[in-house]
Every structure is written in structure tokens, then in C-alpha cells.
Amino acid sequence: MTKQTDVLLSRLGFRFSSGGPHASRTMMLDDLRVLLKHVPSGSERAVYADAVIQGNVLGKPTRKTRELAWKYLLTLYSFEAGKQCSQRSPARSARWLGQLRSGLQTPPQRRC
């Protein structure tokens, strides 16, 4: 691959580093469930980060493991708190599916 191809693929979300949640084959679903339970819907990314790192809602033993957990969750689920199309981030989708499963929400209108 060329450097230009690598840059394009990186913009699309592909990663070329060794390690990380993809290499360890984890989806961190238990951590995601706990985090979504503790952080209100529509919160900014910084609120999620604060809950994981400062608030230790995931119950990690050290700051370093909390930072690593946040890095992995961010890689997997993005936690975009935005408008329109960014509302389709994996974290928002997971929250919506959990609410739908519980009968708490109807499907959102597609805007983009």
C-alpha cells in the first residue's frame, strides 16, 4: 500500500497499529453496558471519559487501566455527541438498541 492509501483508509476508520481492542478480539460489551448506564444519553465525549478515568465506573484497579479501557472503548464505539449523521455512532446505536429492547424508545427518524 502507498502512504496515500494508508491515509485514506485511516480516515475511513481502519487502523494499522499492533495491539488494541481489535487485536485482542474484545468488544468490551460489559464495560459498554456499565458506562451507558452511568452516563446520560446525549452527553459529550468528555463526560464519558471522565466517568471512566476519574469516576472509575468500570471498577478498574489503576488509573493506567482506566485510561487504557477508555482508549479501547473510544476506538470501538467512538462516543460522538453530535448532530445528525454522527448520531449513528456505535455507542449511540448500542444505547438505542438497549432502550428499544426494554421498550423505552421508538426508532429515531432518519435525518441523513
Q: For residue 111, what pLDDT is reported? A: 45
Contacts of 82 (CB under 8 A, 6+ apart): 89
Nearest Cα residue to 15 out of 63, 74, 82, 65: 74
Domain definitions of the chain by residue range: 18-101
Q: What is the enclosing helix (H) or strand (E) of 5? A: helix 3-11
Whole-angstrom distance, CA of residue 32 vs CA of residue 23:
18
For residue 61, the model assigns a pLDDT of 96
Q: What is the pLDDT along the chain (112 residues), one digit of tens a residue?
A: 678 887 777 776 666 665 665 555 578 888 998 998 999 888 889 999 999 999 999 999 999 999 999 998 988 888 765 544 444 566 666 676 666 566 555 555 444 4
Question: Tell me, what's the pLDDT at 29?
Answer: 85
